[in-house]
Amino acid sequence: MTKEEMVEGILRNCEVSKANVERFYDGLARLTTKELVASGEMLLPGLGVLRVVTLKARTARNPKTGETV
């Protein structure tokens, strides 16, 4: 889902101007980024939890040639 699709979905369900929805979305994105950097976790009540996860490095292969990338 793109930002525009999300904004349109909110507009269909709420009586709020598009400019206000976009400001809210941008503010939420900044707040989420700040919180994830600070604590590695962001609770979104009623939705779930976003967490920063570090994955181990892995070896990728070109599917056509099988060569290691």
User: pLDDT over 90 for what percent of the chain?
Assistant: 88
Question: pLDDT tens for residues 8-25?
Answer: 999 999 989 999 999 999
Q: Tell whether the model's pLDDT for residue 37 goes beyond 90.
A: yes
Side-chain-side CA neighbours of 2 within 13 Å: the count stands at: 3
pLDDT at residue 69, rounded to an integer: 83
pLDDT at residue 15, rounded to an integer: 86
pLDDT at residue 36, rounded to an integer: 97
Give the domain ranges of the chain. 3-51
pTM for the whole structure: 0.72
User: Is-contact 31 38, C-beta < 8 A?
Assistant: no
pLDDT at residue 25, rounded to an integer: 93
C-alpha torsion sign, points 12, 17, 22, 24: negative
